[in-house]
Amino acid sequence: MSTTTQRAGATTAPAAGRRRKTAAPTPTGPDRIPRPSQGWYRDKLTGDKLRRVTTILSQGMPKEALVFWAGNITAQTALDNLPYLASSSLNPASRTEAYDWLRRAHTRKKDERAAIGGAVHDVIEAHILGQPIPAAHLDDEEIAPFIEHFLRFVEEWQVTFEASEMVVGNYTEGYAGTLDYLLRSPRLAARFGIPADTVIVGDTKTGGELGIKGVYAEAGIQMSAYRHAEVGWLRDGTRIPLPPIHSTGVVLHLRPEGYLPYPAACGDDVFAQFLHVKAIADFQAGLSKSVIGEALVLPTPERSAA
């Protein structure tokens, strides 16, 4: 099976007369953990580049519903601001400004949701690691109900955590990502019909509406990639093999009004679909650019000899 793992660095000797670059020091400690950049994770020790899981999903599995969501947000924003839009339409300068403001309505909404989701993840990570809650979130009334329901989930389902925000990678298939957490829960295990100490992969979602929308099949595909990762990095930078992880994960849907845990299949059959998505993403990033060539033209007729 092909892989997108790439070796970083030059493939030919430097040209004569060029100054050889000083070799970078070998990374130690947490610096050994690959970090995402421009859709890739780079292993600083080996030079391997591993495609980012979220990039694979965005390129290989577009969310068609987002197109309609963006249209709805734009329409709602326009209706809520008709006087402003009407007056702005009378002047070319203000018309352009209003147009730019309106067409970015869905982006602003997306950024707002991302900010909330990021803050919730920060607080959850601090709780899991036994660290102080980030000062910026201590008195945030918007974040507080999310955290309250997360703590309820932990208590009611008797959850203990094995890892949080862990970078994991699969060198064979050429990808890496950061999972939300690995956990154990005797009550979840009982519902899944598995031993109480089984490791389960988990993911938190904060968007949508509780019990209506906000958890989608893509979550299972994403977690299947994490479940099939070969290695993970501890916080001190040590690379370790991942323990066996159950083929059903849990998606925790957190909203201000409550929480719901959803089982998410992430076994071999779902992973096979992730690899299909990855193949599409690889095509979009590479081969697709050379599939269609330049337009063909008829050769210029040769002039008859005089």
Residue 250 covered by a domain: yes
Residue 19 covered by a domain: no
Give residue 72's pLDDT band: very low, low, confident or very high (50, 70, 90).
confident
- 137: phi then psi, degrees, rounded to nearest 5: -110, 0
Residue 262 covered by a domain: yes
Q: How many CB atoms lie within 10 A of CB 170?
A: 22
pTM: 0.79
- Single-letter amino acid, residue 31: D
Residue 50 covered by a domain: yes
Nearest Cα neighbor of 210 from 179, 252, 181 is 252
N-to-C CA span, the chain: 61
Residue 204 covered by a domain: yes
Residue 233 covered by a domain: yes
Region of poorest pLDDT, from 71-75, 108-112, 201-205: 108-112
Maximum CA extent, the chain: 96
Q: For 208-236, how does the pLDDT look when each residue is reduced to its tens digit (9 = 90+)?
A: 889 888 899 999 999 999 999 999 999 99
Give residue 64's pLDDT band: very low, low, confident or very high (50, 70, 90).
low
Total number of domains in the chain? 1
Give residue 196's pLDDT band: very low, low, confident or very high (50, 70, 90).
very high
Structural domain including 264 reads 34-62+118-286
**3 state SS for 150-179:** HHHHHHHCCCEEEEEEEEEEECCCCEEEEE
Region of poorest pLDDT, from 60-69, 124-133, 252-261: 60-69
Residue 8 covered by a domain: no
- Report, as an integer, the average pLDDT of 61-72: 67
Highest mean pLDDT: which range of 22-26, 60-64, 89-93, 230-234:
230-234
CA distances (Å), 140 to each of 12, 254, 293, in order?
A: 54, 16, 55
Give residue 4's pLDDT band: very low, low, confident or very high (50, 70, 90).
very low
Strands 40-42 and 36-37: antiparallel
DSSP string covering 74-128: HHHHHHHTHHHHHHHTTSHHHHHHHHHHHHTHHHHHHHHHHHHHHHHHHHHHHHH
Q: Which CATH number fits the domain that encloses residue 135?
A: 3.90.320
pLDDT value at position 276? 97
Residue 295 covered by a domain: no
